Structure 1
Amino acid sequence: MAYYDVDAILTDAQKVPCTFELDVPRLGYLDNNPGHTLHASTRVDLPIWLAEMLAVSNITSSNKPLITLDLPPALTPRVMNALKADAKSVDIRALAQNFYGLGVRILELFEEEEVCDVLMGSWRTRAAEISDHAGNAGQGQRGGGGGAGGDGVEFLRGLDEGERGLFRAQHDSSKAMRVWMGEMKKA
């Protein structure tokens, strides 16, 4: 994680489901039970940065982890199946603002080959669509095809922060290329 990267900070603040494996005194407020013990097998959503620290720490002599992590709702099998079926139709921003960043952080903790393959495949599919929309954005007013109509607008609203950055970079480069080509024709 880059120290000053806002997207990385927001990704680390995403909550993931955890199950406590040990009783922890005076931590009941995490389960809306202030002042009491948080009992083993209690499920709580914690920020990923905290959950990771608690999952890898061994605070007892039994070397039993304090918590076990589960996949977040944004990376459940249901979402993975939807991405496999049609990656362009999934509103990933509604699942997580930094969806692919969350995927990277989770894959650092879990060895999930299928999740990795699905995320890489959906990134490729969506990147091609993003490139198409970004390269044609703004050309609809001049009578040419392109622009983002109907389904394209919905697709663009569902982009996560990384994809929005890709869209901006592609759009700016396409715009600069059109300006350069116009200058070359004049010369």
Structure 2
Amino acid sequence: MTAPIRPQRKLTEAEWDVVRRTKLLNLHGALILGIVDPVPNPSPMPEAEGAWVREHVWTEPFHKIDRKYPWGFWRWSLCEKGTCWNCLNHRCDLCIHRQKGGPDIDDNEESVHNQHGRHVATFIPRPGGEPCMWWCRCPCPKTGEAPAKPERRRAEAEPEPRPNPVAPPRPTERQPALFDSEMMSP
């Protein structure tokens, strides 16, 4: 196993705010997909031109999925994916690639989608034949001895004692039931 080509992306506080505002189910999807902190490949198209294409060429099915994720969905190939969710949570001892024994490698094919967002064909976009694979970009070791499990914070290690719930006072008078026969009689 080799180290990732591009280093881990460090999100700014403003970018973390974008991630925090993502709906929880989509955030979980982004964490699993590794697109919370994607690392873009160099592109021959400037970002302004890419934004124009997304706005004027993409059809609604593409927008519907793309807008749910903090940095989009359709823009990232496997080799642009960022850090695994365990490492983002400072649990490098549970890094996905340590657990699985290596990075996920696909068959170096990308999907072509029609105007409805459906897969219609595959093509190999990399003329050099380099593999497109996701490798967690966290600098933690992926082989050898696992990093130590982080120590629990004091608040987690010694939780404050919870007070016993106080039972409500017992009623001194008889409380009528919802359909008490006395209430139902004329």
- Which interval holds the TM-score relative to the shorter structure? under 0.3
Q: Find the structure with the greater CA-based Rg.
A: 2
| Larger RCO, structures 1/2 (Cα 8 Å, 6+ apart) | 2
TM-score, scaled to structure 2: 0.25
